[in-house]
């Protein structure tokens, strides 16, 4: 399973209603997409199984900040990661602000 969570460190709140797309990185094939909930979470992308390989999460950040009347230097954030144990849960948190972002492998 692959999930994500976005926190807006500028406002100190979860980032709700952000569109996130999941791709197979090798061929940029769209595997699923959704929007973060009120808690900034997207719990799954509707996949029943995943395989070992490289994936990419693409976050549409510009509309989120525009709705808050804030400009952002990063209109889109793309994070590539490698799945080597498909039976495990891969959680990718994203911390955003208008002029910075960071990520890590969550649990």
pLDDT at site 18: 98
- Given a contact cutoff of 8 angstroms between Cβ atoms, the answer to whether 56 and 22 are in contact is yes
pLDDT value at position 10? 95
- Domains along the sequence of the chain with CATH: 2-103 (2.60.40.180)
**Total Cβ atoms within 10 A of residue 55:** 21
Query: Residue 62: its pLDDT value, please?
Result: 97
Concatenated DSSP letters of the chain: -EEEEEEETTTTEE--S-EEEEEETTTTEEEEEEE--TTSEE---S-S---SEEEEEEEE-HHHHHTTT---S-SEEEEEEEES-TTS-EEEEEEEETTEEEE--B-
Contact 90, 83 (CB under 8 A): yes
Report pTM. Answer: 0.94
Q: What is the pLDDT along the chain (107 residues), one digit of tens a residue?
A: 999 999 999 999 999 999 999 999 999 999 999 999 999 999 999 998 999 999 999 999 999 999 999 999 999 999 999 999 999 999 999 999 999 999 999 98
């Amino acid at each position: 399973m692959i999930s994500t969570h976005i926190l807006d460190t500028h406002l100190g709140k979860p980032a709700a209603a952000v569109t996130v797309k999941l791709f197979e990185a090798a061929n940029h094939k769209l595997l699923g997409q959704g929007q973060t909930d009120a808690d900034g979470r997207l719990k799954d992308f509707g996949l029943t199984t995943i395989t070992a390989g490289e994936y990419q999460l693409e976050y549409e950040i510009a509309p989120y900040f525009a709705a808050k009347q804030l400009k952002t230097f990063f209109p889109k954030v793309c994070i590539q990661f490698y799945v080597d144990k498909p039976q495990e849960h891969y959680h990718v948190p994203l911390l955003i602000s208008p002029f910075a972002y960071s990520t890590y492998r969550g649990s």
